[in-house]
Amino acid sequence: MHFPSSVHTHTTFCDGRDTPEAMARAAAEQGLSTLGFSGHSYAPQEDFGIAPGALPAYIAQIRRLQHACAGRLEVLCGIELDPDAPPTDLSPFDYVIGSCHSVQGADGRIYVVDGTPENLAEAIEQGFGGDALACAAAYYDRLTRFVLALKPTIVGHFDLITKFCEKQPPFNAESAAYREIACAALDRVLEAGLVFEVNTGAMARGWRTSPYPADFLLERIAQAGGRVTLTADAHAKEQLTFGFDEALERIRRAGFAQIWTLTGEGFVPMPL
Ligand SMILES: [Zn+2]
Ligand SMILES: [Zn+2]
């Protein structure tokens, strides 16, 4: 099966390697129908966002590209919004990915959880007295409160807190205690009817051999009649459809009969 859209992508406007133009050329070459740009919002303690002053230039450039590609490739202008972003006018964007990349420790400090295993270890030690599951619970609490208030088009990498669990595990992501925390958060987001992304980004970067979210969460979304889409969280043009075949197989195995693809007219279902 060919999945025709890639709408979680980053460019040189934030922490991506390629320009929007180079990404669009690659998307057309790879046979995609829709390419969406989701530049990171600015977050003070993180260095990967688009500074608020640069957002108008980002939007203008994506809109120019949208016109230039019309008829060949549908281009969408989105943003990946983080809870730490300053108040942002979302009206210029075609869609919003709501993602949390940080936790607030018991010490009040904001810690980034997806930078490096060392960053996460520091968050657990200093922010949670060494209690990794307390850190995971704080992540899910921050994420759920954020997306339930925001109601984004797509909920980004739901279980990002497990990014390093394969290679340098801060906690056991198979444990009943962890799963209970993740499932409780998932159920709250499911109730709101939001669309989850199956995100292959950490596979492309060598941290994981499977996409977000984990299979047990995917199965729970399927059982609840929830909706998923597929994204690559691409930071370079070679990654636009990275791992899509593997992810589609997992989505099918989890029990979904269809997957949703984002277009200029909104989400469209595709049978699996
Ligand atoms: Zn992200
Ligand atoms: Zn991203």
Rounded to whole angstroms, the Cα distance separating 212 from 220 reads: 13
Residue given tokens 């909920």 in the structure block? 155
CA of 9 from ligand 2 middle (Å) equals 6
Predicted pLDDT at 43: 83
Q: Is 233 helix (H, G, I), strand (E, B) or coil?
A: coil
> How do residues 110-159 score in pLDDT, each as one tens digit?
999 999 999 999 999 999 999 999 999 999 999 999 999 999 999 999 99
Rounded to whole angstroms, the Cα distance separating 37 from 77 reads: 5
Type and span of the H or E element at 98:
strand 95-98
> How do residues 35-57 score in pLDDT, each as one tens digit?
999 999 998 877 789 988 999 99
CA of 184 from ligand 2 middle (Å) equals 24
Q: What is the DSSP string of 6-30?
A: E--B--TTTT-SS-HHHHHHHHHHT
CA distances from 238 to 104, 169, 210, 234 (A): 34, 28, 18, 8
Count how many residues are written for the chain.
Answer: 272
CA of 131 from ligand 1 middle (Å) equals 24
CA of 35 from ligand 2 middle (Å) equals 14
Name the token pair of 155.
């909920």
Residue given tokens 């340098």 in the structure block? 168
CA of 6 from ligand 2 middle (Å) equals 12
The residues facing 229 across adjacent strands are 197
Predicted pLDDT at 52: 86
Q: What is the pTM of this model?
A: 0.98
Helix residue spans in the chain (DSSP H): 20-29, 55-69, 117-122, 128, 132-150, 176-191, 201-204, 215-223, 244-253
Name the token pair of 49.
């966002």
CA of 43 from ligand 1 middle (Å) equals 12
CA of 99 from ligand 2 middle (Å) equals 8
Residue 205 pLDDT > 80: yes
In terms of pLDDT, which residue wins out, 43 or 58? Answer: 58
Ligand nearest 46 Cα, by number? Answer: 1
Ligand nearest 157 Cα, by number? Answer: 1
Residue given tokens 């994506």 in the structure block? 62
Among 111, 95, 87, 118, which residue's Cα sits nearest to residue 37? 95
Residue given tokens 């950490």 in the structure block? 202
CA of 14 from ligand 1 middle (Å) equals 12
Instruction: Please provide the average confidence, as pLDDT, over all residues in the chain.
Output: 96
Give the CA radius of gyration of the chain: 18
Predicted pLDDT at 44: 80
Ligand nearest 6 Cα, by number? Answer: 2
Among 151, 156, 172, which residue's Cα sits nearest to residue 114? 156
CA of 37 from ligand 2 middle (Å) equals 10
Q: HSE (CB half, 13 Å, CA atoms) of 91? A: 1
CA of 130 from ligand 2 middle (Å) equals 28
Find out whether the peptide bond into 213 is cis, omega within 30 degrees of 0. yes
Predicted pLDDT at 1: 80
Domains parsed from the chain with CATH numbers: 5-271 (3.20.20.140)
CB crowding 229-251: b at 16 or more within 10 Å, else e: bbbbbbbbbebbbbbbeebbebb
The residues facing 259 across adjacent strands are 270
The residue type at 102: S
